[in-house]
Structure 1
Amino acid sequence: MKRLRQVLAGASVLAGVMAGGMAAAQEVAPRPDQLAYRALYKEMVETDTSITTGSCTLLADKIEKHLREAGYGDADITRFAVPEHPKEGGLVVILPGTSKTLKPILLLGHLDVVVAKREDWTRNPYEFIEEGGYFYGRGTSDMKAMDAIWVDMMMRFKKDGTKLKRTLKLALTCGEETSWAFNGAQWLTQNKRELIDAEFALNEGGGGRTDGAGGKVVVQNLHVGEKTPVNFRIEATNPGGHSSIPIPDNAIYELSDALVRIRAFDFPLMMTDTTRAFFAKAGAARDDAMGKAMVAIAGNPADKEAEKLLNTDRSYHSMLRTTCVATLLDGGHANNALPQRAGANINCRIFPGVPAEEVRKTLEKVIADPKMTVVRVDNRGPEASPPPLDPRIVKPAEKLVAKYYPGVPLVPVMSTGATDGVFLEAVGIPSYGPPGLYGNPDGNGAHGLNERSIVKAVYTGRDMLTELVKEYASR
């Protein structure tokens, strides 16, 4: 069996190499320090931290053990949780700097992941699998690769006796992936503000992307700002009755009609200084029709032909507007009765500067059914407020992108998703998503099936992010 596994493993590597590009297996064997990082990354992915079946607290326990083995003590590590959410705890660890005047840097990461069902996946979502140049598993992309980089970095700095001018803080939290869980980042800003106080934070949301064909990295991004996530419930109600005498006035049909209208609707195109800079700079670095469309839209947002092509790319489509999509459904109460109620959750990612109430009213107009209700059902936190495009953040990142990814531009980007950076920015800590890691245009399965990260991207990103943090912390 051992020989058979060796043969199969060799065949898998050979197939990855033949596939070419970033999906190919690494040409050079990992270094010892990379293998140590890989083991940490594997442990994180294989620890289920989903809100339903997992535990962030359990993973925080494991991480604390590694940190203590690296030399951190009671004075350096703070654990936090609340009694109502014992499995959603996190930790903060601090590496003191040599300067008494420079403010600290905060590294932020969320430990929780989106729920994954084994029956839907090709591979076990909570097994860390390396195959064809990718690491597979829930959280490999969002965001345990970066979590592991932060922890690995803090451990190596402590073991090596690295002296940084700025104090380095790491906060690992839970609750980022759901709106109803205990959100550790929000709790820290409200209850332990001094513990995480920093001049700025480095968080998720940055990184680069490939061309999707040969795996060539075409851009690296600095995450500067994001959308505001808001959930609305749309609901149809009806008197119901016996199913043997159906009538057109049916709550499920009315809901279905509403969802079809929402699917067909596009919010109007909008741009900020960050997104305009993104499309202009990233487009200029491409030698294809998509690149020309990116440059065109930056110069003239009313260019409908350019917009039409950009809308074929799911990421670009979302960067150009508010988006709303159905994510949950419910309806009816018995097999033999007409439905009295049917509803859906509509998850919206609202463009900066657009009030949530304006989006709610737009949904009402799109549905065009006065019998249906549209109600906001949650309030995740403050509305997103983009941090400044600070040259002290940008210049070191540009220098290291040029070193690790020669010829690839660094472009500021507004995230189409949402991060816990909004809680930091609300209390005066600017949050940026640094470049370094990268993925494919399809999103690499984040929040979906067969989530994966590119092996070479993870190892290269780890080296670059370590150097970038040193650069920031030494200034």
Structure 2
Amino acid sequence: MVFLVQPLLAAPSFAQASALRPDQARFRALYKEMVETDTSITTGSCTALADKIEGHLKQAGYGADAITRYSVPDHPKEGGLVVILPGTSKTLKPLLLLGHIDVVVAKREDWTRDPYTLIEENGYFYGRGTSDMKAMDAIWLDAMMRFKEQGYKPKRTIKLAYTCGEETSWAFNGAHWLAENKPDLIAAEFALNEGGGGRSDGHGKIIVANMHVGEKAAENFKLETFNPGGHSSAPVPDNAIYELSDALLKVRDYEFPIQFNDVSRAYFTKAGAARGDDLGKAMIALAKDPGDKAAEATVNQDKSLHSMLRTTCVATLIEGGHANNALPQHATATVNCRVAPGMSAEQAQAALAAAIGDPKVKITREAARGPLAKQPPLDPKVIGPAEKLVAKYYPGTPLIPVMSTGATDGIFLEAIGIPSYGPPGTYGDPDGNGTHGLNERAIVKAVYTGRDLLTDLIKAYAG
């Protein structure tokens, strides 16, 4: 069944309202090629896109010695690359740009438009990966190509790592592999990664710009129920599927307590003040008093803000039974949790068990995605240049540090001493722009403005 998702209000057209400059047209072609190269785990290939990226880099003037390709034999379609633009300083540590090029699986029959065709419509780019994260991938590549072609000599070495496996827990994760096997290749003082950006009011106006500082931990738990089963002609209430269903309903209804940290409290205070509406007032009130139930009820209506406040768990996969004429003997479900800093996976599991309240439901923690996230410092040399460029490109818009409710590959960098930040630049709508879901989209104007801001930001950091 085709499910239609329409923008809240079409953003003003950018590329279609005025002719693109030659440099913008080339950037758009890179973006288009990235979106239209399927890099999903089922039907796509990151290696195929890495081949194309390598070709563009060589055409821009990078030699083979500047480009490192990597992969492992049992995951031939999940390869990536690292490219390096040397700096002139012998004392400044490098800057690392990180971009995962894999995307979440998209089924054509579910989408309104072909997910692997870049379609520009009503001020939006539609297609899988347009927001997560091929716009930033294209911006990184475009910048590195222009730097080389223009003869730009940065003081600080600039490294760009394209990786696969960020979107799939059982795939070959390039960032993890590089951190463990090639730490010197990607060594840097800090990294720029996904997770930042900004947020609009849903009507084309950017309200806040964000610097991603820290994130939740992704944890998966398997719920299982067991039963002797029997013939379906003689049903009984004791049923593995019913028991699992009851447990999942309790997971649905359980609300983890509010758990502010320094970054999330600052975000609610500053972003609330920037909004100035009832939601903004509730955000400020809740930051002051987490026990304010009226303010919490207002804030909880926004799914993104609701997730920033606490650990969240949700059922994502389910399987049960073995025949259509037999009582189920076994049923399983995967519950995906995003655990807030300060709470361990063991504490989250214990909270789930208490909420379910049925010892017959077996709860098992699945393999961890990676190390726990380490919150990078609010370093003035990172925050300061970003604030200046936000003031230039988005006058009057505050830059506010934010804790990501998702999970990024920054955890693997932080584990080897490379702080990872998600810079401002692009921005999205309050509904999330279909990221990981149907009809993913990116605001056209945000992509082009973000390209300019992020290119300037790289230069500001690199010197």
TMscore range, shorter length: over 0.9
1:264-343 matches, within 5 Å, as 264-343=253-332
Identify which of 201, 207, 212 aligns with 1:223.
212
Contact 1:24 1:132 in 2 (8 A): no
In the TM superposition, residue 378 of structure 1 has moved relative to its aligned partner by: 1.6
Identify which of 81, 106, 116 aligns with 2:96.
106
Cα separation, 2, equivalents of 1:298 and 1:437: 26
Aligned pair 1:346/2:316, yes or no? Answer: no
Contact 1:22 1:216 in 2 (8 A): no
Identify which of 411, 426, 430 aligns with 1:422.
411
1:14-413 matches, within 5 Å, as 21-22=11-12, 27-212=17-202, 214-413=203-402
Query: The residue matched to 1:462 in structure 2 has which SS?
Result: helix
Query: The residue matched to 1:363 in structure 2 has which SS?
Result: helix
Cα separation, 1, equivalents of 2:259 and 2:17: 43
Query: The residue matched to 2:82 in structure 1 has which SS?
Result: strand
Map Cα deviations across residues 367-399 of structure 1 (whole Å, 9 max, x no partner). Answer: 111111000112111011110010111111000
Question: Superposition RMSD on alpha carbons, in Å?
Answer: 1.4
In the TM superposition, residue 41 of structure 1 has moved relative to its aligned partner by: 0.4
Contact 1:138 1:450 in 2 (8 A): yes
Q: Percent identity?
A: 71
Matched residue type, 2:315:
A
Cα separation, 2, equivalents of 1:144 and 1:303: 40
Map Cα deviations across residues 71-101 of structure 1 (whole Å, 9 max, x no partner). Answer: 0011100000000100000000000011111
Map Cα deviations across residues 408-463 of structure 1 (whole Å, 9 max, x no partner). Answer: 10000000000000000011000000001000010000000000000000000000
Structure 2: which 5+ runs fail to align?
Answer: 1-6
Give the TM-score normalised by structure 2. 0.97
Map Cα deviations across residues 273-292 of structure 1 (whole Å, 9 max, x no partner). Answer: 00011011111111210110
Cα separation, 1, equivalents of 2:450 and 2:316: 32
Matched residue type, 2:86:
P
**Equivalence for 2:433:** 444
In the TM superposition, residue 29 of structure 1 has moved relative to its aligned partner by: 2.6
Cα separation, 1, equivalents of 2:445 and 2:21: 12
In the TM superposition, residue 53 of structure 1 has moved relative to its aligned partner by: 0.7
Contact 2:319 2:332 in 1 (8 A): yes
Q: 1:306 to 1:25 in 2, by over 3 A?
A: farther
In the TM superposition, residue 271 of structure 1 has moved relative to its aligned partner by: 0.5
In the TM superposition, residue 294 of structure 1 has moved relative to its aligned partner by: 1.1
Query: The residue matched to 1:274 in structure 2 has which SS?
Result: helix
**Equivalence for 1:4:** none
Cα separation, 2, equivalents of 1:22 and 1:348: 37
Cα separation, 1, equivalents of 2:19 and 2:213: 35
Contact 1:106 1:201 in 2 (8 A): yes
Contact 2:307 2:405 in 1 (8 A): yes
Query: The residue matched to 1:403 in structure 2 has which SS?
Result: helix
Query: The residue matched to 1:148 in structure 2 has which SS?
Result: helix
In the TM superposition, residue 193 of structure 1 has moved relative to its aligned partner by: 0.3
Matched residue type, 1:48:
D
Query: The residue matched to 2:364 in structure 1 has which SS?
Result: strand
Cα separation, 1, equivalents of 2:378 and 2:437: 31
Cα separation, 2, equivalents of 1:236 and 1:185: 36
Cα separation, 1, equivalents of 2:132 and 2:351: 31
Structure 1: which 5+ runs fail to align?
Answer: 1-15
Contact 1:23 1:215 in 2 (8 A): no
Cα separation, 2, equivalents of 1:29 and 1:327: 44
Cα separation, 2, equivalents of 1:20 and 1:249: 51
Cα separation, 2, equivalents of 1:23 and 1:158: 31
Cα separation, 1, equivalents of 2:416 and 2:155: 24
Contact 2:10 2:122 in 1 (8 A): no
Matched residue type, 1:242:
H
In the TM superposition, residue 21 of structure 1 has moved relative to its aligned partner by: 4.1
Cα separation, 2, equivalents of 1:326 and 1:22: 37
Give the TM-score normalised by structure 1. 0.95
Q: 1:431 to 1:315 in 2, by over 3 A?
A: same
Q: 1:177 to 1:20 in 2, by over 3 A?
A: closer
Query: The residue matched to 1:153 in structure 2 has which SS?
Result: helix
Matched residue type, 1:310:
V
Contact 1:219 1:408 in 2 (8 A): yes
Contact 1:227 1:418 in 2 (8 A): yes
**Equivalence for 1:10:** none
Contact 1:37 1:149 in 2 (8 A): yes
Cα separation, 2, equivalents of 1:388 and 1:332: 49
Cα separation, 2, equivalents of 1:243 and 1:224: 54
Query: The residue matched to 1:87 in structure 2 has which SS?
Result: coil
**Equivalence for 2:444:** 455
Cα separation, 2, equivalents of 1:323 and 1:139: 24
Cα separation, 1, equivalents of 2:135 and 2:10: 23
Query: The residue matched to 1:443 in structure 2 has which SS?
Result: coil
Matched residue type, 2:247:
A
Cα separation, 2, equivalents of 1:24 and 1:390: 34
**Equivalence for 2:3:** none
Contact 2:128 2:440 in 1 (8 A): yes
Contact 2:11 2:122 in 1 (8 A): no
Matched residue type, 2:32:
K
Query: The residue matched to 1:444 in structure 2 has which SS?
Result: coil
In the TM superposition, residue 27 of structure 1 has moved relative to its aligned partner by: 3.8
Matched residue type, 1:177:
E
Number of corresponding residues:
458
Cα separation, 2, equivalents of 1:184 and 1:259: 34
